[in-house]
Chains A and B, each alone.
Chain A
């Protein structure tokens, strides 16, 4: 192994994934035992993400090639895309088990408030349409970059980001405060706790998606994507659409039924 090769390998290494993992562990531990620990964990996650995104935006990993090895039965997929789909699998299990738990709690309860008496259907429907439109904007970004249209890519990504922010604004800025004013809180009973846990977890996923889309926007402005090099746009798009899919179930389960 030549000295030059070793230098190249070293320059492409990063501690960011380890920092993010440790921060997440601290964040979750802190949520259970001591909130300041959770805040510290969140700060460590943010620092790790910043390092990772900064290195990627600066194209630190640009010329790293995937090693060709045994990839059966997923030889038709890139490693990263397969990784995203496995991640989505784990997310299906998280949201699926929580939704199943909600359904069991609801049908085991002797009484449950009528959805429209607690929830604002108009705001819920508005948020559904906002999220669907954000998915369309993400698709527009992908279609544009595949056609070599970088202006379209920017418009699509900024549109996705803006609509994601709009979704969270409606939820956290209008809906939740109104519920709390009406006494419908996370500790007011099972209807409240199931609603805030599930929609809160979903909102956290939207916020995480916004960080990822923000990274795509930054990298786009650095000229990091081309017609032939845009895997990150597609992979983060897969995650964004998944978050959209989850809301397609949360909206009817809480606002309509």
Chain B
């Protein structure tokens, strides 16, 4: 298991990414482009929390199948909802 110093570094990165999201919102630009950038940063934060705080990085790789399967199921739901519109 990594040291506490390492985890504090991860936390600092996550806080910096949060500030970056807020700053990105105020940058002039197309709404869609700014939104996609913000959501990419959010996704990066979520993956970082899962990899390091939830220790997926240090677990057997097969464990990742569970959350990935759930995300795929959500995507299938989204596609099904989109097709039914």
Contacts and interface: CB of A to CB of B under 8 A. Distances in A.
Interface of A: 73-74, 76-77, 85-86, 88-90, 92-93, 96-97, 100-101, 103-104, 108, 116, 121, 125, 128-129, 132-133, 135-136, 138-140, 142-143, 146, 237-238, 241-242, 244-245, 248-249, 251-253, 256-257
A89 B35 CA distance: 26
B11 A132 contact: yes
For the side of the interface on B, what is the size category? 35 or more
7 contacts: A88-B66, A89-B66, A97-B77, A125-B22, A132-B11, A132-B18, A252-B41
B18 A245 contact: no
Main secondary structure of the interface of B (DSSP, over half): helix
Interface string B43-85: 0011001100110000110110011011101100110011001
A57 B17 CA distance: 39
Given A73-B62, A248-B42, A140 B4 contact: yes
B14 A96 contact: no
Given A108-B85, A135-B53, A252-B39, 5 more contacts: A90-B70, A97-B77, A139-B7, A238-B54, A257-B25
Nearest to A136: B11
B25 A256 contact: yes
Contact of B46 (A73, A97, A245): A245
Contacts of A257: 25, 31, 34-35, 38-39
Given A76-B62, A241-B54, A252-B42, A96 B74 contact: yes
Nearest to B44: A248
Contacts of B34: 257
State the majority secondary structure of interface residues on A.
helix
A108 B41 CA distance: 25
B53 to A, nearest CB: 5
B53 A140 contact: no
Given A73-B62, A89-B67, A248 B74 contact: no
Contact of A241 (B19, B41, B49, B60): B49
Contacts of B25: 116, 121, 256-257
B8 interface: yes
